[in-house]
Amino acid sequence: MKKMWSVRTVVVIITVFFTSLASAQLLALKGTTKPGAKRNAQSFDMVHNPDVPYDVNPRIINHFTKNFDASNKVKWYGIGDGVVAKFKRDSIPHAVTYNNDGNWMYTIKYYTKQNVPTNIAASVYKKFRNFSILRAREIMIPNISQPVYLVQIQNGNRYKELRINREGIYVLQALETAKTTQ
């Protein structure tokens, strides 16, 4: 009798668990569009994609599919107060960050020295002639029309991190490492 009672309890708990999971997914799907609107096939696929956590806010899915090419392999990561979607577009890694309310916070593009935008590279080389670019990040923030670039440059054992925006180039950090003898 006790075993029978334990088995029933376990079955009820498992049933409730899976029912709540299915309900959460259905609610997420229903919330992706306004009533009566045509459902976006990409949104539908993303909600049913095993790489997308089932509890991602539908506003995030809508913004992401509207603003980014979702045909790329996208990986989703939960962070303390939101979600990050990582993917590559034209071989450039992107990280798109949202808060838990579904608001877009910022996007970062990670450039190698080979694919830094030419206008940014030209500005750097004009001001820092003897330096070479190591890498750069382009940061887009809501309500700011122009991106901010963080560029790391090197000349021998001297390193600088630059911030480049529409107002100019600023040295954020300058380092000099000890010279190594061989």
Sorted by where each begins, the domain ranges of the chain are 1-105, 113-182
Q: Are 29 and 47 in contact (CB under 8 A)?
A: yes
Which ranges of 31-71 does DSSP label H, i.e. alpha helix?
41-47, 58-67
Q: What is the pLDDT of residue 160?
A: 97
The tens digit of pLDDT for each residue in 44-87 reads 344 445 555 557 788 998 899 898 876 668 898 888 889 999 99
CATH number of 113-182: 3.10.450
The answer, yes or no, to whether residue 28 has pLDDT greater than 50, is no
- Single-letter amino acid, residue 119: N
pTM score of the predicted model: 0.68
> Residue 1 pLDDT more than 70?
no
For the cut 70, the answer to whether the pLDDT of residue 36 exceeds it is: no
Residues 112, 23: Cα–Cα separation, whole Å: 44
How much is the pLDDT for 45?
43
Find the DSSP H helices in the chain. 2-30, 41-47, 58-67, 118-127
